[in-house]
Amino acid sequence: MPESFFHQKVVWITGASSGIGEALALELARQGARLVLSARRADELQRVASATGLAPADVLVLPLDITDEASMPSHTQAVLRRFGRIDVLFLNAGISQRSFVSETDLSVYHRLMAVNFFGVVALAKAVLPHFLAQKRGQFVVTSSVSGKIGVKQRSGYCASKHALHGFFDSLRAEVANEGLRVTMICPGYIRTPISASALDASGKAYGRFNKAQAEGMPADDCARRILRAVATGREEANIGGKELLGIYLKRFVPGLLSRILRQRPIEAV
């Protein structure tokens, strides 16, 4: 990958306070990007900003709650006032789920869709007019293997990630001739604290670290692969270990995948 791709680019990352977003921030800084770091916790974003080693002029800490849809245009204006443009938008913030459909409160589905889908759509729509005006810009969306297949205890999470593919495939078709790009990232198991903040059946934090993530791909390795996919203009990239096999089974032998997923013990997910 030409590491110069991100040099001096203005890159906005949501979910930058932890996990994949934090790893993206550190690697992008190393590759010479200017960064906007967003998530809810200002102190954690400040910690990441310091860790990048960027000069204050090259990094903006912009706390936001992605579910506050109405505030996305003003946050976008704040970035434009500071840097004058946005080149790449990483729509990465997200939360997961650990609960069976039969036990899950409807409010949990609303929350998952608010964070993982409607918040993402709201920010993408706020930035879109700017991308169209400059006839350039790249949306990078962190979906998941769960955006391609449905698995136990993730009904709302899978639904929200599947929805992203429908929305952003449509957007890609609409704006491709305007010079805009959309890259969908489908990670498998990545070593981050995502399971700790996952919602249980009543919407409380699950609070535990799952073995699958603990033994997954290191977040910095994932971040480097994401950046390679973005720099080479990929429309979609699957990143992870043997769990990616599920995506290919779904495409070519869906009946076999369905049998495997039915028999899969809960502890393995």
φ/ψ bin of 105: left (φ > 0), alpha (ψ from -120 to 50), beta (otherwise) = beta
Q: Which amino acid is at 83?
A: F
**How far is C-alpha 228 from the chain's CA centre?**
16
Q: Does 187 bind ligand NAD (CB under 6 A)?
A: yes
Q: Does 226 bind ligand NAD (CB under 6 A)?
A: no
Phi, psi dihedral angles at 36 (to 5 degrees): -115, 120
Closer to ligand NAD by CB, 58 or 220: give it. Answer: 220
Cβ–Cβ < 8 Å for 103, 201: yes
Binding residue for ligand NAD (CB under 6 A) from 89, 94, 180, 236?
94
Q: Does 20 bind ligand NAD (CB under 6 A)?
A: yes
**How far is C-alpha 240 from the chain's CA centre?**
14
Closest CA to 157 of 192, 193, 197: 197
**What does the per-residue mask of binding to ligand NAD show for 120-159, with x meaning CB under 6 A?**
----------------------x-x---------------
Task: Mark the segment that binds ligand NAD (CB under 6 A) among 2-10, 65-73, 104-112, 254-262.
Answer: 65-73
Q: Minimum CB separation from ligand NAD for residue 266, in Å?
A: 17
Dihedral sign for Cα 117, 125, 70, 40, please.
positive
Catalytic residue among 157, 189, 206, 248: 157
Binding residue for ligand NAD (CB under 6 A) from 25, 28, 33, 194?
194
Q: Is 42 helix (H, G, I), strand (E, B) or coil?
A: helix
Dihedral sign for Cα 46, 48, 53, 56, please.
negative
Q: What's the rounded Cα separation, in Å, for the pair 137 and 91?
A: 13
Task: Mark the segment that binds ligand NAD (CB under 6 A) among 13-21, 27-35, 103-111, 223-231.
Answer: 13-21
Binding residue for ligand NAD (CB under 6 A) from 15, 137, 156, 246?
15
Closer to ligand NAD by CB, 66 or 231: give it. Answer: 66
157 a catalytic residue: yes
Q: Minimum CB separation from ligand NAD for residue 134, in Å?
A: 25
Q: What's the rounded Cα separation, in Å, for the pair 141 and 68?
A: 19
Q: Minimum CB separation from ligand NAD for residue 123, in Å?
A: 10
Q: What's the rounded Cα separation, in Å, for the pair 96 and 154?
A: 7
Task: Mark the segment that binds ligand NAD (CB under 6 A) among 27-35, 53-61, 62-70, 249-257.
Answer: 62-70
Q: What's the rounded Cα separation, in Å, for the pair 139 and 135?
A: 13
**Residues acting as catalytic residues:** 157
| Sites of contact with ligand NAD (CB under 6 A) | 14-15, 17-21, 39-40, 65-67, 92-96, 115, 142, 144, 187, 189-190, 192-194, 197, 213, 216
